[in-house]
Amino acid sequence: MKIVRNLFRIIVGIVFIFSGFVKGVDPLGTVYRMQDYFLAFGTEWANDLALPLTIFLCVVEFMLGISLLFNLWIKKSAWVLLPMMTYFTILTFFDAFYNLVADCGCFGDAIKMTNTETFIKNVVLMTMVVPIFLWRRKYRSILRPSGDVLVLASVTILFTGLTLYCLWHLPIIDFRDWKTGTQINKLNDKPMEFFVTYKNRYTGEKEEFLNPNYPWNDSTWLADWIFVSQRVVDPNQDAMTLMIEDTLGNDLAQSILNIPDYHFIAVAYNLDQANVEAMQRLNLLSEDASEAGYSFIGLTGTLPEEIKVYNAETGIDFEFYNSDDVVLKSMIRSNPGLILLKEGVVIKKWHYNDLPEWERVKEKYLN
């Protein structure tokens, strides 16, 4: 029984550490998903609470994982673990049956799971969490109680610091499509795949074939098999397609992403909420880039007529194009942020707190 107790403790601990870490290094991604829940439940008034709740959730989840994995203070931690898992199991139950949000983000962007898969995962975890709670007094730490508290307090402080660093800069690990080094203009160019299923009219055996690998040149085969069904697989269905629209509604994405030279994209999913000082710094960078012969544009989800008003009030000179704000939030976790590309490859990304001087960009990246 001791082996089972420790096995449950280790498994749940690893899952909680991983889940807390991947969300903690990308706190804004978790904020966006939490706001999706607020929208689904009609509680948008709570949007301002999404950030502190996200930090609290990630830190508690990571701390519980450390507690379980290293057998620290489990008698107390179990009182947090069980209610937390019960709440999220109930929440994901409603997600699975009513599809409240498209992606609960339980593992951030590191591992994508459907709502049903997430609910099943939580049910499996509950089969271990409940016994851990019942056995909580049987776990014995190698440290004194004060030692357990000191270790967990230290972990809490350090992980909170890491989460805040990733909030004020950029995620230290980027799990999204627009991570540095990605060939962006190749994300959505995979062809659709068509599968057909045939059944043997005599044996009932079924076989599935990928177009165009059909055995139709065999007349004997055709006489024995009958068509059953067809399915289509879109390899791009999980990729977030970027559209860059001008004021006439023309999509310029491919022409811009395929620019052979270095070029800059300033991303501000919402101009009204963008850091004003950072926008001014981007404007200066755009002037230096233009003088050096490099393209510099802005992307925003703000409406064209509102862009004109914003530019007039702030004196921003570089040209803005429209795009979907959800895609822009995925491109860079900063409002505004700056991306350097060349031939469709992401060379570098900057949070608005880390915007470089032009001489630094020219010396380190434009070569």
The pLDDT value given to residue 211: 65
Domain of 313 in residue numbering reads as 253-364
- 181 in a domain, yes or no? no
Do residues 13 and 125 both lie within one domain?
yes
Do residues 26 and 76 both lie within one domain?
yes
Longest dimension (CA), the chain: 79
Do residues 212 and 263 both lie within one domain?
no
The pLDDT value given to residue 237: 47
- 245 in a domain, yes or no? no
Structure tokens at 134: 């019942």
Residue range 208-257, pLDDT digits in tens: 777 666 665 566 666 777 777 666 555 544 445 788 998 888 888 888 98
Do residues 278 and 163 both lie within one domain?
no
Instruction: Say what the alpha-carbon torsion angle 9, 14, 15, 18 is, to the nearest 10 degrees.
Output: 160
Do residues 26 and 118 both lie within one domain?
yes
**Residue 145, phi-psi category: left (phi > 0), alpha (psi -120 to 50), beta (remainder):** alpha
- 312 in a domain, yes or no? yes
Number of domains in the chain: 3
Residues 6+ apart with CB under 8 A from 322: 244, 245, 246, 299, 300, 301, 302, 303, 304
Nearest Cα to Cα of residue 336 among 305, 314, 361: 314
Structure tokens at 64: 């519980």
- 238 in a domain, yes or no? no
Do residues 229 and 286 both lie within one domain?
no
Do residues 163 and 18 both lie within one domain?
yes
Do residues 122 and 259 both lie within one domain?
no
Give me the residues of the chain with pLDDT under 50, please. Answer: 236-239
Residue range 10-49, pLDDT digits in tens: 999 999 999 999 999 999 999 999 998 888 888 889 999 9
Do residues 34 and 125 both lie within one domain?
yes
Do residues 137 and 19 both lie within one domain?
yes
Q: How far is CA 202 from the centre of its chain?
A: 49
Residue 24 has phi, psi (to 5 degrees) of: -70, -30
Do residues 357 and 271 both lie within one domain?
yes
Do residues 20 and 122 both lie within one domain?
yes
The pLDDT value given to residue 87: 94
Residue 285: give its domain's CATH number.
3.40.30.10
- 248 in a domain, yes or no? no
Q: Rounded to two decimals, what is the model's pTM?
A: 0.82
